[in-house]
Amino acid sequence: MEPRPKALVVDDCRFIAERVARALEAKGFDCTIAADGYQGLELLRRHDFDLFVLDVDMPMINGFGLLRQLRRDPVHACVPVLMLSAEHSSADHDRAIALGADAYMTKPLQLRPLNAVIDAMASGRTIG
């Protein structure tokens, strides 16, 4: 039996993190949730993941800082990243893509578009 792919969801809003994790689990992922960027970094040091979902606006290390660190790490440099934000800012979207995010979605999350992005990322497609 082939192991299930692993996803790390980093969001300081537990409700959002659990919602995203449920969507990923329905698509066959094993999910780990981190409540902030520091916890996310600690998990990265101990585990390999096949997909990352990062909230932009978090205390201490925000999603952009975490994304920068991911892209510098040879182990995680090519792992797909979905950025989530409550801000409907084209500047944040552009910054996320410039830093190496594969997709960017705004909150509140709608399940159908979230599932479409997960499917695309799991198949290796980039979504701006």
pLDDT at position 88 is: 87
pLDDT at position 126 is: 54
Domain that holds residue 50: 6-122
Please indicate, yes or no, if residue 128 is contained in any of the structural domains.
no
Angle at 86 between CA 81 and CA 89, to 5 degrees: 85
pLDDT at position 59 is: 86
Please indicate, yes or no, if residue 127 is contained in any of the structural domains.
no
List the chain pLDDT tens, one digit each, 128 residues.
778 999 999 999 999 999 999 999 999 999 999 999 999 999 988 999 999 999 999 988 999 999 999 999 998 999 999 999 998 889 999 999 999 999 999 999 999 999 999 999 888 755 55
- Cis peptide, bond prior to residue 108, ω within 30 of zero: yes
CATH number for the domain harbouring residue 77: 3.40.50.2300
Could you count the other beta carbons within 10 Å of the beta carbon of residue 118? 23
Please indicate, yes or no, if residue 1 is contained in any of the structural domains.
no
Number of domain units in the chain: 1
Distances (CA, A) of 36 to 84, 93, 122, 126: 13, 20, 24, 25
Contact between residue 56 and residue 84 where contact means Cβ atoms under 8 Å apart: yes
Please indicate, yes or no, if residue 108 is contained in any of the structural domains.
yes
